Structure 1
């Protein structure tokens, strides 16, 4: 069974093992606090620096390894292929299409649409937002950095217990006959996770690697496949091994060997300092942006070229998903996959209009400040500031995927916000 893979978007690039549509959708649907999603990508930048390849590559594995034994309802596009030819132009879409060589919206002067008061930078926020404890730093490094370098041992000399991750082969039968989607080899399953149908995982507990045994279960009456709903099934299961994760010890030598080549850190102290800065930035970002947004005013009509670009960001996510998984854009928007069912792609985009305006306001506001302060993100700035903002020495992995101008826009955003945060007042 095909899982629901998430798509990948640079402005939220830290989300581990995500692939563009859900993330892009989330950016535009966070109207209540438009910066909440945006703030997150800073805190995990250092995790990405050490595990970007794994983060980008994780999507297809999870999608391919799902099976009928799981609780998730099978979702297969059954409608006739819709005519999506109006969106064929998206084949040539680039995230850099909307921005110029300095990270500004292409052909847009933000000051024409945003009125900044003289005291726009006079911002006061809660002092607690700047506080980062040693435990916060440790927890972040453990969860986002060291975990990326963890290794797995294959344990074969003890019985499996709840909480273990086991590697299994299984073949499912109903009345002695194998059924489609009921078999897998080398599947990693966390016992007690509730991933598989009720009773499956419990019956693996207590068995030892090397054993082959039967797991007897009954599919729920409301199971997604009517051919399986309510049926009793037997899964001939082989427990191959138990996986145990070994996390490396954080030492100066380990940082020097593993992080120094890609990040601007050379020992534990500099790593801690970098993470502390990122966490403090993240804690303050939303409140600073909200205070800033409350001070400014926007033109009644925002630039249509920029609105069109942000529409295309959403459309490209849907288009990419359709291309990758052999379906069509209309099937995706009508399926409820995006949170609601829409009758057409155009209806979905129309429903997103308010959220697109919110995202555009954010981009215009930060660009307006950059224009006023004379801040640009040219190529030299990209090469010198990327490591300071994200802890990554070489931005080429990102520019190759998303284009240099888009990465410049993201960096410009961070530089402007960092300047504001550096000068906030606390109460």
Structure 2
């Protein structure tokens, strides 16, 4: 899992807060050039406990099973909301899913926005199949009782409050061509090569199932990695003590989130404060909640920074380039200087922030790689790589302890 600490210290806090700042990006840039850089000695704030050889236990689904894969397939197909032609049905019922083409006309002339082809309609819901937003009243009711291949025309009246004033309150004619009646694709048994080709981008069902098996296996591996890291980070938080978060550092972390959020809302011609106020929220209470969330994530950052210092983890050019390049490129930047400038706030430069993020991520890797991880359900305990933590059974752990005792 890459860029984990960055997500912890920035993205998670942003998602949890949904805030914007009260000053513009121009103001922030101007003030940054005038304020001295924040300085602190992390060892004055962090007392390290055990961080090497931490023993943790994780519980989750990490091993491939036929039952688990079947559930994964079912969930994936259901979430896709796919419908396929049902040859066994020829007459539209009140609860049918129908594929139609339609044309809306007024006084015999088609009107703009009133025509569409290959539309999957839920007759009972009076909406698009799989959707929730309804059509105008009576739009689908006239289809009931007609058969596949029929052309059906009937009057529909737009509501007086309809957004298009040319149509509001007007009665028009919708002409439908009923192409076929459909059914929901709910399981692997409903899949055909045609359904897979039309909806999932594979030529055959076998190809699609092979791809799902790869996805499922990869998801198990991700679960194992994510749960292991979470357990190790939680153990670090429990084992290490942070007396307080330096006030300037906390403010810089909050300001960074606010600055990024501010730019997003400025693009819509407003500020987060104005938006929150208009929605009935207390802006200061929201900022206070954000600050508390950021304080907790910054405590973890300080612990990892102290570990990085203790273990001599520094920024190496090759590793850092591999770390930072996908970050700024995926965010749409073409050069680092602009990227760093946009992540610079009073007292803390963008480059310094991301270099620390790199070091704390490496510190996390170090702790995970040196952890002893017990699991009730491991995907592949024999397929560890250099970047994976050691996953052992209770028997293996006991054997290792005996060996170490003999060596002593």
- The normalised TM-score by structure 1 is 0.49
Residue in 1 that maps onto 2:240: 296
Question: Offset at 1:358?
Answer: 1.4
In structure 2, do the counterparts of structure 1 residues 304 and 192 end up closer, same or farther at CA, with 3 Å as the change threshold?
same
Conserved in 1, the CA contact under 8 Å of 2:254 and 2:294? yes
Residue in 2 that maps onto 1:373: 311
Residue in 2 that maps onto 1:194: 132
Question: Offset at 1:281?
Answer: 1.2
Q: Does the alignment pair 1:341 with 2:281?
A: yes
Q: How does 1:325-336 map to 2 (within 5 A)?
A: 325-336=268-279
Residue in 2 that maps onto 1:247: 201
Q: Does the alignment pair 1:110 with 2:42?
A: yes
In structure 2, do the counterparts of structure 1 residues 200 and 286 end up closer, same or farther at CA, with 3 Å as the change threshold?
farther
Q: 2:62 aligns with which of 131, 149, 167?
A: 131
Residue in 1 that maps onto 2:374: 426
Residue in 1 that maps onto 2:192: none
Unaligned 5+ segments in structure 1 are 1-9, 13-19, 30-83, 98-104, 173-177, 255-266, 387-392
In structure 2, do the counterparts of structure 1 residues 377 and 216 end up closer, same or farther at CA, with 3 Å as the change threshold?
farther
Residue in 1 that maps onto 2:400: none
Question: Offset at 1:293?
Answer: 1.1
Question: Offset at 1:296?
Answer: 1.5
SS in 2 for 1:352: helix
SS in 1 for 2:132: coil
Q: How does 1:90-105 map to 2 (within 5 A)?
A: none
Q: Does the alignment pair 1:26 with 2:22?
A: no
Conserved in 1, the CA contact under 8 Å of 2:138 and 2:156? yes
Residue in 2 that maps onto 1:175: none
Conserved in 2, the CA contact under 8 Å of 1:169 and 1:238? yes
Unaligned 5+ segments in structure 2 are 1-5, 120-126, 181-194, 334-338, 341-349, 376-408
Question: Offset at 1:294?
Answer: 1.4
SS in 1 for 2:199: strand
In structure 2, do the counterparts of structure 1 residues 424 and 159 end up closer, same or farther at CA, with 3 Å as the change threshold?
farther
Q: Does the alignment pair 1:354 with 2:292?
A: yes
In structure 2, do the counterparts of structure 1 residues 341 and 130 end up closer, same or farther at CA, with 3 Å as the change threshold?
same
Q: Does the alignment pair 1:311 with 2:254?
A: yes
For the residues of structure 2 that align with 1:372 and 1:166, how far apart are their CA atoms? Answer: 68
In structure 2, do the counterparts of structure 1 residues 332 and 381 end up closer, same or farther at CA, with 3 Å as the change threshold?
same
In structure 2, do the counterparts of structure 1 residues 341 and 232 end up closer, same or farther at CA, with 3 Å as the change threshold?
farther
For the residues of structure 2 that align with 1:397 and 1:89, how far apart are their CA atoms? Answer: 21
SS in 2 for 1:279: helix
Question: Offset at 1:306?
Answer: 2.5
Q: How does 1:142-161 map to 2 (within 5 A)?
A: none
Residue in 2 that maps onto 1:87: 23
For the residues of structure 1 that align with 2:246 and 2:302, how far apart are their CA atoms? Answer: 10
In structure 2, do the counterparts of structure 1 residues 252 and 202 end up closer, same or farther at CA, with 3 Å as the change threshold?
closer
For the residues of structure 2 that align with 1:251 and 1:395, how far apart are their CA atoms? Answer: 36
Residue in 1 that maps onto 2:226: 282
Question: Offset at 1:398?
Answer: 2.8
Question: Offset at 1:426?
Answer: 1.5
For the residues of structure 2 that align with 1:365 and 1:140, how far apart are their CA atoms? Answer: 37
Conserved in 2, the CA contact under 8 Å of 1:171 and 1:237? yes
Please identify, of 270-279 and 233-242, the stretch whose mean Cα deviation from structure 2 is larger.
Answer: 233-242
Q: Which has the larger radius of gyration?
A: 2
Conserved in 2, the CA contact under 8 Å of 1:217 and 1:234? yes
SS in 2 for 1:426: strand
- The normalised TM-score by structure 2 is 0.51
C-alpha offsets along residues 238-263 of structure 1, whole Å, 9 cap, x if unaligned?
87999952333699999xxxxxxxxx
In structure 2, do the counterparts of structure 1 residues 294 and 232 end up closer, same or farther at CA, with 3 Å as the change threshold?
farther
C-alpha offsets along residues 196-228 of structure 1, whole Å, 9 cap, x if unaligned?
379678659779899776556879xxx9x99x9
Q: How does 1:224-239 map to 2 (within 5 A)?
A: none
Question: Offset at 1:280?
Answer: 1.0
Conserved in 2, the CA contact under 8 Å of 1:120 and 1:296? no
Question: Offset at 1:355?
Answer: 1.3
Conserved in 2, the CA contact under 8 Å of 1:252 and 1:268? no
For the residues of structure 1 that align with 2:73 and 2:356, how far apart are their CA atoms? Answer: 27
In structure 2, do the counterparts of structure 1 residues 358 and 236 end up closer, same or farther at CA, with 3 Å as the change threshold?
farther
In structure 2, do the counterparts of structure 1 residues 213 and 164 end up closer, same or farther at CA, with 3 Å as the change threshold?
same
C-alpha offsets along residues 299-339 of structure 1, whole Å, 9 cap, x if unaligned?
23x12333223222432344233222223333212133xxx
